[in-house]
Structure 1
């Protein structure tokens, strides 16, 4: 009995309508002192209010399980993407109700106003959908779903607690990966800004002899097959397959810089996942290495169906560290893991020429054995400062420093090119497109 009473009081909440009615009763009693002709009206109003209140309590608590609810979630969330979640509600009361819903979302979102209102007819059910956009990878803990129900009288709210504590992992952006995957399968990557690279020649692998269609290279016409078939036939070539593509991700402090709510490491991880997926669709083998002051994750190159899941699991909990990258360790790791010439896409960041000069000797050694592509980031905030109009001496000083640092980035590109190292200088938001563009260019020009 005590447990029931305790639960009754714990889950009973007063509404604004109740306080308005009480205020009206108080006003009537006060007016009865000045206007005796009111007589018993205040008392009748008060006792009518008590009766209605009791009826409201009976309506709300007369059904033991008046509401059923559960949370609808995907198995995992995609980082920096809109993820659809929902709360299912079913009304078991024999009358219409007003419902308020609180879903206890993870603390990482720092939201305390996730409150939904709806109206349910008898025996009706609804799904209230909402969007969450995580900004960090890792594990996100959800709490209970709390439902507040009021009857048509609306004097009280009864709370229902549905303990649905669950932990959802937030993976690198697999939703963006799927978009690029569908485009790659249908050869529509140009819709995302992926450039079509003109081929300078044929790759090493012959695919088939097919009927000539307008637009085919006339130099590829197979005259022997044409003579046999009596119609123009042309040779079809495909990209050389089973090349090794490795993404090497720098986890040092230079990758902790934030941009648009994400760190540079998150941008590099998302771009790596998309690039490796496209590489596997192009029949290449995909591999992964993470590095900081010590060796991180190593996933040898492969193109089995389970390879992408291995890479996602490896990138799931990667975090930036606070020391500089040990480039000698990276060099020895690449030499021991990569057994054949491969495309090595190194995601890192340089803010000055001195930072490049510390790493350049090791980059030159790696480039002797593999095709090295260094990907680093354009500082968009500095670019904005350099383009602003300077109105005073302090603004001129800031603009000059910003222009110098932006110019250093361009010098880094030239310095790498001087040593035969390809590079991409990209704004974080354009990283996916620029990286895939470069990969397709390398494939088309047979540089690997």
Structure 2
């Protein structure tokens, strides 16, 4: 900033405060009264009264304006306090409570507008009466993007009983709110006392009840394996008892989140990264509840976040705080670099679940070879969201040569995706290309299936 600009800057700040913070505006009533005085002044001029009517009408307006302005409350006599939750889920209603306090001793009418971020639903100004004392105003809004947002000010306009002029004030009321991913599936699982997980009204497979690790002794039922009967316990209780086994706990599940350009594509108003993040957190909750350890790595062209393996539901909060504000970068992702970083950090064998886009798998020349090498020390599960546009073009009717050409291309891309899946499955690498509404269901089911088979 130059010296001349530094000298003039205090004046600009004064003008900004005057016009935006403490400006006085005429109301609709004053404008209508001023316009209605014009016919009266014209009538008086025609009747030969000269400008007497004109000066009388305008003089009354001036006197009323002076009285109105003098009676308006001072800015310091109006106090606003905002209350809102510290965190909210994406797309959920955010309740906001504003308490207005009037210390002027007179009734005023107000219009209130909150300083909402651009990604929040916009609202009309809140209007009402503010008697002496305090009034509580409530409204709801919704956030459309994850992250940490700050609500800095409240914009208030108020007028008195005469209602010719209104003042506007910019009240400082700084608060922050964290917008988390939609955690309804995670909370539904953690709060469930059943032996199954319900996701979007559909039942995920039952938790594995067999394995190699001893869990408990219970009563024998006809469907139990006779080889697991505990004869010593049966002799003590004089009824058949059986040993209950479960899969081994303490395994490591590593989640890789692609934050590259392709993950910023929207599907029905939600980005692929949002959908993948919600599915990843649900998988983490299930794995931690099963007694396993969970690590997480987020990457684009470079490593963005790495959370080492941890156990217990308290670790879920660590994962959530690390990734709730992740955004997709407008660059091509580099999954090979992320896998190399993970290979250096994670020496212990783990189930590595990669949330990415199928195009990244197909376009990366060295991807298949590196995945086969990585498969030797880790169990891999590749996840991708199916492209609804390709599915729609595959089902389109060929009513013209142009549509036939587009359909042929769509089928070609679909065949490439299936060929990559078959190639990876042949190498012992599981690949899931599922619709967006089935991603959470598919990844949790596959994890529980792997646990039941003790493939890790």
TM range (shorter): 0.7 to 0.9
Question: Corresponding residue for 2:143?
Answer: 133
Question: Corresponding residue for 1:372?
Answer: 380
Moved more, 401-410 or 215-224: 215-224
In structure 2, how many angstroms separate the alpha carbons of the residues matched to 1:336 and 1:154?
71
Question: Corresponding residue for 2:8?
Answer: none
Q: Which residue, out of 246, 270, 273, partners 2:281?
A: 273
Displacement of 1:332 after TM fit? 3.6
Q: Is the 8 A contact 2:356 2:382 kept in 1?
A: yes
Q: What SS does the corresponding residue of 1:396 show, helix, strand or coil?
A: helix
Q: Is the 8 A contact 2:336 2:367 kept in 1?
A: no
Question: Corresponding residue for 1:428?
Answer: 436
Displacement of 1:169 after TM fit? 5.0
Alignment partner of 1:142 is 2:154 = no
The verdict on how the C-alpha distance between 1:246 and 1:352 changes in structure 2, with shifts beyond 3 A counting, is closer
The verdict on how the C-alpha distance between 1:254 and 1:160 changes in structure 2, with shifts beyond 3 A counting, is closer
> After the TM superposition, which residues 13-412 of structure 1 pair with which residues of structure 2 at under 5 Å, given as runs?
13-34=25-46, 48-61=60-73, 65-76=76-87, 78-79=89-90, 81-109=92-120, 115-137=125-147, 139-166=148-175, 168-170=177-179, 172-173=180-181, 175-176=183-184, 178-183=186-191, 187=195, 189-193=197-201, 195-197=203-205, 202-211=210-219, 222=230, 224-231=232-239, 233-304=241-312, 306-316=314-324, 318-321=326-329, 325-326=333-334, 328-351=336-359, 354-355=362-363, 358-412=366-420
Displacement of 1:375 after TM fit? 0.6
Q: Is the 8 A contact 1:248 1:288 kept in 2?
A: yes
Q: What SS does the corresponding residue of 2:110 show, helix, strand or coil?
A: strand
In structure 2, how many angstroms separate the alpha carbons of the residues matched to 1:391 and 1:264?
32
In structure 2, how many angstroms separate the alpha carbons of the residues matched to 1:305 and 1:190?
19
Displacement of 1:441 after TM fit? 2.4
Q: Deviations over 1:399-427 (max 9, x none)?
A: 33223323333333222222221122123
Q: What SS does the corresponding residue of 2:109 show, helix, strand or coil?
A: strand
Displacement of 1:60 after TM fit? 1.8
Q: Is the 8 A contact 2:154 2:172 kept in 1?
A: yes
Question: Corresponding residue for 2:3?
Answer: none
Q: Where in structure 2 are there 5+ consecutive unaligned residues? A: 1-13
Displacement of 1:93 after TM fit? 4.3
Q: Is the 8 A contact 1:378 1:409 kept in 2?
A: no
Aligned residues: 442
In structure 2, how many angstroms separate the alpha carbons of the residues matched to 1:409 and 1:308?
33
Q: Is the 8 A contact 2:158 2:168 kept in 1?
A: yes
Q: Deviations over 1:229-258 (max 9, x none)?
A: 345645444443211110012334443433
In structure 2, how many angstroms separate the alpha carbons of the residues matched to 1:280 and 1:381?
36
The verdict on how the C-alpha distance between 1:331 and 1:105 changes in structure 2, with shifts beyond 3 A counting, is closer
In structure 1, how many angstroms separate the alpha carbons of the residues matched to 2:20 and 2:105?
21
Q: Deviations over 1:327-364 (max 9, x none)?
A: 55444433332233211101121238843663111111
Q: Deviations over 1:96-128 (max 9, x none)?
A: 43321122223455x776522233343242132
Q: Where in structure 1 are there 5+ consecutive unaligned residues? A: none
In structure 2, how many angstroms separate the alpha carbons of the residues matched to 1:219 and 1:44?
109
In structure 2, how many angstroms separate the alpha carbons of the residues matched to 1:435 and 1:289?
17
The verdict on how the C-alpha distance between 1:26 and 1:297 changes in structure 2, with shifts beyond 3 A counting, is same
Q: Deviations over 1:262-287 (max 9, x none)?
A: 44334333322232122112211110
Q: Deviations over 1:188-226 (max 9, x none)?
A: 522534534267861222222245689988886655434
Please, what TM-score do these two structures have when normalized by structure 1?
0.82
Question: Corresponding residue for 2:423?
Answer: 415
Q: Is the 8 A contact 1:242 1:284 kept in 2?
A: yes
Q: Is the 8 A contact 1:67 1:160 kept in 2?
A: no
Please, what TM-score do these two structures have when normalized by structure 2?
0.81
